Chain A
Amino acid sequence: MIYVWIRGLIARSPLRITGATTGIALAFALLASLGLFLASSSLSMTSRAVSGVPIDWQVEMVPTADARTVKEAIRKSALISALHQVDYAAIDGFVAQTGGTTQTTGPGKVIAFDAGYAAAFPQELRLLAGTLDGPLVAQQTAANLHVSPGDTVTIRRPGLDAVNVVVAGVVDLPDADSLFQAVGLPRQAAPQAPPDNVLILPASDWARLFSPQEKVRPDSIRHQFHVRLERKQLPADPTQAYQFVTGAVHNLEARVAGQALVGDNLGARLDAVRGDALYARVLFLFLGIPGIALAAIMTMTVTSTNADRRRRERALLRVRGASLGQVVRAAGAEAVLCAIAGIALGLGVTAAFAMARGAGTFAPDWLTLALSCGLALVLAFAAILLPAIRETRELTVMAARGFVPKTRPPLWERTYADLALLVLSGLFFWQVASTGYQIVLAPEGVAATAVDYKAFISPALFWIGSMLLAFRVARLIVDRGRKAIGKAVRPFSGSLAPAIAASLAHQSRRLAFGVAMLSLAVSFAVSTSIFNTTYNAQARVDAELTNGADVTVFGTTNTPAGDHLKALAKLPGVVAAVPMQHRFAYVGADLQDLFGIDPTTIGEATHLSDAYFSGATAAQALKALHTTPDGVLVSQETVSDFQLTQGDTINLRLMNAADHQYHRVPFHFVGVAREFPTAPKDSFLVANSTYIAKITGNSAQEYVLMKSSGDPAVVARSAGKLLAGTPALKVKDIGEATRIIGSNLAAVDLHGLTRIELTFAAIMAAAASGLLLLLGLFERRRAFAVLNVIGTRPGQLAAFIWSEGLLVLAGGLFFGAGAGLATAWMLVKLLTGVFDPPPESLVWPVGYLAIIIAFVVASSAIALAITSRTAAGPSAGLLRDT
């Protein structure tokens, strides 16, 4: 019997099977695609996160330690791919005589790398001028001493005579923070600034000059082992990788107890990235779960469009003598058929989607696939089998054969649960958003992590509440607005207007359900796309903030990028090129980055967000600077440290070009800058470049910021070629900055998630409008046949059908857009902590939203046109069916 039943279903009700199968396939494919994305993203998260860590461990020996023993212990604690020694000597200062002047610096460091270090840790040293063979002087030190290759530098050793070395090259130490970090300090200690003055000697020279110093001043000498772990041994998940590395460090600490201290840069990095992994999960939940829920609801809805027919068919089986068990088995067989077909189709969609998004191959994640299959089966059974089981328990055969009108409003409607949910959502949102909470808790140094799942309550309640409210309002409008609807449809329905209005009113519940479903799908598309666009825009702002502009040329005072401004401005694709000074200035004893800008032109090349400034908009802050030639914008940290109030005079010390000495220069404090392009996070200064040039006697513009009209990478390549002869100039584009930013949410590859979300959102919006409309109208084809046989003209029939469709379309778009916008706002507010800097406003994906509206309108129009055409055709045969 089951075989005959299934064969009959396939032959006689293909649309019904297709509808249920499509819904199941959609839910399966969305869950599978998201799950596979998350799994593959997690797999690469550790390797992506640690790729930027130059030195995994810095193991510093105590003066009495045996280097060989420590080395052995390191090799035993984990698989090691590189292990090299670095020696540090603290010195009293450097002296250089150039151009008839003598420059003297404060205390500094002289360091040495052993053989092979540069190859093992290439990120530590970048040659700017001269050669790597011989004594090297750091860029800032070279600027302070005003030396270049070939000049002599005197090293003032504590407790010993000064010695001279001849500079072979000038280098940049990109990783100076880590290289000079104080190993063994507690994690909560304030970060140690790298020394301002650094000289690097070959290992043999260092040993010759500083072995004597180690004897007289052992406290001034440090020896470290720099270690790189074999990365293959790290687990893919950052949390597990963190636990692995921390365990290895503990093991090493136990082995070298009393002999060495361990600086765990790799662990610190993984510690920070654990939060990102959790954010990935949070985003998956925030953005993915509503989509899966929507797909599930759509499947149930598609199936319920012909629930009456299924019920009557089952009743007929019972009348013909089928037992309850046989009826349930028949429904179960149909559910299994739809589930298997849905899984097969969903697998195909998932694989195609994985290929299309560039995954290359379709790598199955068994847990994801198992969960997706489970979802498909649950949906099929809930939609098809469950009603059959319920009927056999609750309805007599005759009751099942007839119509089951629902006259009483559902419980939620009678108890105003929709309004209650919205109020609760608002209360939760207020409670969460007003307390400056952290949605992801991954405290530094603590292995345990946590996600504040309470934050999900608010959007979840809002989502359900807004859908139910859309239902209630749509029903009330259709129910109570009969006259108004009659007037609205009269222009195209003529004397049929009252009948159409009455018909709509009678179907208010069905139509309101359609409005709620469409609004749900549209709100999902709108909220997801607005959140994603806002996120992407903010990630770009973050990258631009780090890089300075689309493309930035970084130079030095000795080799300023501003010298090439005209040539750079003429490169193809460059919309604007603006120079910017980058100097250093002492605020008290604190050496800070000083940026010299022209406030009237800086905005041409880079975006200055209002969020970068405190107490003023970007325009107001720049205006204050422009109107105060000796004005300075100061970071919040400096304002707090020095108890500054607006209008105060601040005396900074800047290096003068004439004598290469730092001199006191008065500035007026005109505003607070939280962030500034290329500026470090903690403390910096922004002033007028003309004033800086005047008081330092040096008009050099170290940086050039460029805005591009096309791909910044192309402009960066052109600039690189142009400046190939000046290696001291470094060109970076915004894409590179995006890849480098890893300490915040940008480490989560949202693009893949976005693409999956937005594609499925579009499909579901189109399905919610077109497919549901088509199925709903198809189920009512008998009613349209009635109209047809009593003489309804095709135009009049179309008026009936289109008025229903347009009502659902207008209501769905209206409520969906409103709810989507509110949800996006809520998501951005709840996830504000992950935006850096926080967004000023939501960003509308106009193009995508236009496509969604076009999809929805087109699919509705197609469904309505098909129905109108079918309904106007021969239909007497339909009225013979009982």
Chain B
Amino acid sequence: MPEPLVVFEEVSRDFPTGSGGMFTALSRASGAIETADRISLVGPSGSGKSTLLNILGGLDLPTSGKVSWPALGARDQLRPGKVAYVFQASSLFPALNGFDNVCLPAMLAGEETGLQGRAKELMDALGIADIAEKFPDEISGGQAQRIAIARALLLSPKLLLADEPTGQLDSETAQHVLDVMLDTVEEAKAALVIATHDPIVAARLKESWIIEHGHLHEPRRKTAA
């Protein structure tokens, strides 16, 4: 039995409020993510989806509780490579063009030259090859999001976390992008967690976790993918 990618137990995250108090964004959430999991994280705005994703990806630390990555290693070894992240908003480095943005994780990992072909393939697959030379301030929000997705997939991560990745795309493009993401994680035998409002996107994933007011409900498995 392979080790889980992420295990989190009784994890809470509090944030200070402007009035001097504390706001609990996530309360005592527990669970585990296994290799090849396809999870949709569903809940209304402000329910704690992004907070949980950040903690799962090691971008943020819980106020209390414990999170570990048994199959991936220590928190500081997760990125770039083992865990990738797609944000809801534009997350491109504005001073680099599209292609360089996609290649950036490879440069950070010291694998720049070997992965340029893969970067081109991904850009082709996501329909953004023609904007490779353009800078973030010269493209649309949807195009920027697809570049961010290509960048996240470049190093074939073991865990892909995405926060509303198709929020800025039309439904046809959204489905296509989702196909590419699913194919890529399938190839890499990776896990995929998507925080989404979109029931169509949620329906494409095997498992759905519901989160409300910071409380993660008991994970519920679907019968079919």
A interface residue numbers (CB < 8 A to B): 11, 403, 405, 494-496, 498-499, 502-504, 506-507, 780, 783, 786-787, 789-793, 796, 874-876, 879-882
Contacts and interface: CB of A to CB of B under 8 A. Distances in A.
24 contacts: A403-B137, A405-B137, A495-B108, A495-B110, A496-B107, A496-B108, A498-B107, A502-B97, A503-B93, A503-B96, A506-B96, A786-B92, A786-B93, A787-B104, A790-B80, A790-B104, A790-B105, A790-B108, A791-B105, A874-B60, A876-B50, A876-B59, A879-B89, A880-B89
Contacts of A504: 95
B199 interface: no
B21 interface: no
The 8 closest A-B pairs by CB, nearest first: A791-B79, A791-B80, A503-B95, A876-B59, A403-B137, A506-B95, A876-B54, A495-B110
A876 B107 CA distance: 21
B89 A790 contact: no
Nearest to A11: B18
Nearest to B136: A403
A502 B108 contact: no
B110 A880 contact: no
Contacts of B105: 790-791
Nearest to A499: B107
Contacts of A792: 80, 108
B4 interface: no
A553 to B, nearest CB: 71
Given A498-B107, A499-B96, A507-B95, A882 B81 contact: no
Nearest to B101: A786
A881 to B, nearest CB: 7
Main SS at interface, chain B: loop
Given A502-B96, A783-B95, A880-B50, A495 B80 contact: no
Q: Which of B85, B96, B109, B138 gathers the greatest number of chain A CB atoms within 10 Å?
A: B96
Contacts of A786: 91-93
Nearest to B78: A791
Contacts of A880: 50, 87-89
B108 A796 contact: yes
Nearest to B82: A791
Contact of B110 (A403, A494, A783, A879): A494
Contacts of B18: 11
A291 B61 CA distance: 49
A881 B94 CA distance: 15
Given A499-B96, A499-B100, A876-B60, A790 B112 contact: no
A596 to B, nearest CB: 75
Nearest to A787: B93
Nearest to A796: B108
B158 interface: no
A684 B81 CA distance: 88
Contact of B87 (A405, A789, A793): A789
Contacts of B112: 495, 498
A791 B91 contact: no
Contacts of A780: 94
Contacts of B85: 789-790
Nearest to A793: B108
Interface string B141-162: 0000000000100000000000
Given A499-B96, A506-B135, A876-B59, A882 B89 contact: yes
Nearest to A503: B95
B138 to A, nearest CB: 7
A789 B91 contact: yes
Nearest to B163: A880
Interface string B58-99: 011100000000000000001111001101110111111100
Contacts of A875: 59
A871 to B, nearest CB: 12
A507 B97 CA distance: 12
B60 to A, nearest CB: 6
A882 B79 CA distance: 24
Nearest to B157: A791
Contacts of A11: 18
Interface in B92-138: 92-97, 100, 103-105, 107-110, 112, 135, 137-138
Q: Which of A499, A502, A780, A882 gathers the greatest number of chain B CB atoms within 10 Å?
A: A499
Contacts of A783: 93-95
A790 B151 contact: yes
Q: Which of B93, B96, B109, B110 gathers the greatest number of chain A CB atoms within 10 Å?
A: B93
A789 B89 contact: no
Interface string B17-53: 0100000000000000000000000000000001000
A499 B104 contact: yes
A882 B88 CA distance: 9
A803 to B, nearest CB: 11
Contacts of A791: 78-81, 105, 108-109
B100 A502 contact: yes
Q: Which of B79, B88, B92 gathers the greatest number of chain A CB atoms within 10 Å?
A: B79
A93 B151 CA distance: 109
Contacts of B59: 789, 874-876
Nearest to B18: A11
Nearest to B50: A880
Contacts of B95: 502-504, 506-507, 783
B24 to A, nearest CB: 16
A790 B96 contact: no
A785 B100 CA distance: 17
Given A498-B107, A789-B59, A876-B50, 7 more contacts: A494-B110, A498-B112, A499-B107, A506-B94, A783-B95, A786-B92, A879-B89
A402 to B, nearest CB: 8
Contacts of B138: 405
A786 B147 CA distance: 13
A582 to B, nearest CB: 74
Contacts of A506: 94-97, 135
Contacts of B96: 499, 502-503, 506
A495 B112 CA distance: 7
A877 to B, nearest CB: 8
Nearest to A881: B89
Nearest to A788: B59
Nearest to B113: A495
B117 to A, nearest CB: 17
A506 B95 CA distance: 6
Nearest to A804: B95
A789 B57 CA distance: 9
Contacts of A507: 95
A792 B18 CA distance: 31
A694 to B, nearest CB: 84
A614 B61 CA distance: 81
B67 to A, nearest CB: 14
A504 B50 CA distance: 32
A790 B54 contact: no
Contacts of B81: 791
B14 to A, nearest CB: 14
Contacts of A874: 59-61
Contacts of B79: 789-791
A881 B91 CA distance: 10
A507 B135 CA distance: 11
A875 B84 CA distance: 15
Contacts of B91: 786, 789, 879
Contacts of A498: 100, 107, 112
A783 B135 CA distance: 13
B152 to A, nearest CB: 8
Contacts of A881: 89
Contacts of B110: 494-495
Contacts of B54: 876
Nearest to B55: A876
Contacts of B60: 874, 876
Contacts of B107: 495-496, 498-499
A506 B85 CA distance: 25
Nearest to B112: A495
Contacts of B97: 502, 506
